[in-house]
């Protein structure tokens, strides 16, 4: 079918929604493109340094694009916002956080990486619009471009920004991925989601182990200090995890769902129907001692096509070492002691911390032995602190 012209915006929107749902997206909303209502709050957040090491968020060009999507895509007039649910089906959601000897991965990272799959589907949607409805210019984004997806989703009527900074939907909760297509064509728009249905509930703020959630600012926007968020610490932080926060991470080795787990709205979460999002075997609930012994080849094989690859092996083993230290079992000593000889200083230093937490004579012998040969200054410092009486 050749591209049609002069189709009314209401008809365009209706057909775009129908096509997006046919393609497997869970919800579809359409919003006008315009300057962000939270631009000043975003700049204040950056000025306070709460973005941590995520320097890409503070680049001048990236800030300008986030404040106004029309800078990102010149001529953009409309945003088509879609969701994909990823909550696991009943029986596939292992309660491994209750067993400190086993690893907990955030639910979104337990199978295939959603970025490429969603983006390919969004690009296909844009191409369909150009071929079947009206020629358009635009661009698709899935959590990697300078787009404030949650604000656009709120403008498109899908949900509201909860105190946990997640987009919360009234009948489906927050376990969803967001995708956006910016288009240079006028469409009929959904009513914005104006209500804050968190009300007086502060369960997420109260449950956050590290105190990363700071409530709402004067304009009503939720505020998070990313530098204290477990997801940031275990994924975005590239160097050592601050010592004062390691104990608070528990056995969460990649991301964190605590603020979603306690949210009452997630009692409505619908299990995913996407096969790619079903948990793969050997990820969540894996024994920490087994993960700690992974070679690079084993890491690449186990997490092929997974979002977990973002941390690289050294980042994941850093997190696993912290989890083993929090477990504190002498059973972990052999594999953690072996990690003292890992080629990555990041792994060696956190292994030293873990052995200090375990505190057995075998752990201390391993630390003293490594102290004799360790050349990295930071790792030596971690060994010294682990051997100090205060570490016990």
- C-alpha 331/C-alpha 102 separation (Å) is 13
Q: Which tokens in the block code for residue 79? A: 């945003």
> 247-259: string of b/e by CB count within 10 Å (b at 16+)?
ebbbbbbbbbbbb
Separation in Å, CA 361 to CA 326, 345, 357 = 18, 23, 12
> Rounded to an integer, what distance in angstroms lies between the CA atom of residue 384 and that of residue 25?
53
Report the 3 state secondary structure along 102-157.
ECEECHHHCCECHHHHHHHHHHHHHHHHHHHCCCCCEEEECCCCCCCHHHHHHHCC
Select from 364, 373, 378, 385 the least CA-distant residue to 240.
378
Q: State how far the Cα of 100 lies from the Cα of 166, in Å rounded to an integer.
A: 27
The angle, 0 to 180 degrees and rounded to 10, between the axes of the packed helices 345-358 and 312-327 is 0
Contact 382, 349 (CB under 8 A): yes
Q: Identify whether 143 is a catalytic site residue.
A: yes
Are 339 and 352 in contact, with CB atoms under 8 Å apart? no
* Rounded Cα gap, residues 240 and 53, in angstroms: 12
From the candidates 68, 99, 143, 217, which is the catalytic residue?
Answer: 143
Which contiguous run of DSSP H or E holds residue 179? strand 176-183
Residue 54 in tokens: 């995520």
Which residues, in sequence order, are CB contacts of 59 under 8 Å at separation 6+? Answer: none
Element (H, E) at 43: helix 39-47
Residue 328, both tokens: 């504190």
* Active centre residues (catalytic): 143
């Amino acid at each position: 079918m050749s591209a049609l012209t002069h189709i009314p915006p209401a008809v365009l929107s209706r057909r775009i929604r129908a096509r997006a749902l046919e393609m497997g997206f869970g919800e579809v909303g359409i919003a006008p493109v315009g300057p962000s209502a939270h631009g000043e709050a975003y700049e204040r957040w950056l000025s306070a340094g709460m973005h941590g090491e995520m320097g890409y968020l503070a680049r001048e060009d990236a800030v300008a694009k986030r404040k106004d999507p029309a800078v990102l895509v010149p001529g953009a007039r409309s945003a088509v916002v879609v969701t994909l649910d990823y909550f696991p089906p009943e029986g596939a959601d292992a309660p491994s956080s209750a067993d400190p000897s086993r690893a907990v991965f955030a639910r979104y990272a337990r199978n295939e990486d959603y970025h490429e799959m969603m983006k390919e589907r969004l690009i296909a949607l844009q191409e369909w619009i150009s071929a079947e409805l009206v020629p358009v210019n635009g661009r698709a984004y899935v959590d990697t471009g300078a787009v404030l997806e949650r604000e656009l989703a709120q403008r498109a009527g899908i949900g509201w920004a909860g105190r946990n900074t997640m987009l919360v939907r009234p009948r489906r909760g927050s376990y969803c991925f967001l995708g956006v297509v910016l288009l240079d064509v006028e469409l009929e728009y959904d009513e914005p989601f104006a209500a804050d249905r968190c009300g007086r509930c502060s369960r997420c703020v109260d449950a956050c182990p590290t105190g990363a959630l700071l409530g709402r600012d004067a304009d009503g926007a939720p505020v998070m200090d990313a530098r204290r968020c477990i997801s940031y610490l275990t994924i975005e932080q590239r160097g050592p995890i601050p010592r004062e926060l390691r104990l608070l991470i528990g056995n969460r080795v990649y991301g964190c769902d605590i603020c979603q787990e306690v949210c009452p709205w997630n009692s409505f979460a619908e299990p995913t129907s996407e096969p790619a999002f079903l948990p793969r075997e050997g990820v969540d609930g894996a024994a920490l001692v087994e993960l700690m012994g992974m070679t690079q080849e084993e890491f690449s094989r186990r997490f092929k096509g997974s979002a977990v690859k973002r941390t690289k092996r050294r980042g994941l083993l850093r997190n696993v070492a912290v989890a083993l230290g929090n477990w504190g079992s002498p059973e972990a000593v052999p594999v953690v002691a072996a990690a003292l000889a890992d080629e990555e200083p990041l792994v060696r230093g956190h292994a030293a911390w873990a052995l200090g937490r375990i505190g057995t004579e075998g752990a201390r012998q391993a630390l003293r032995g490594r102290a004799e040969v360790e050349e990295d200054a930071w790792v030596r410092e971690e060994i010294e602190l682990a051997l100090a009486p205060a570490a016990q």
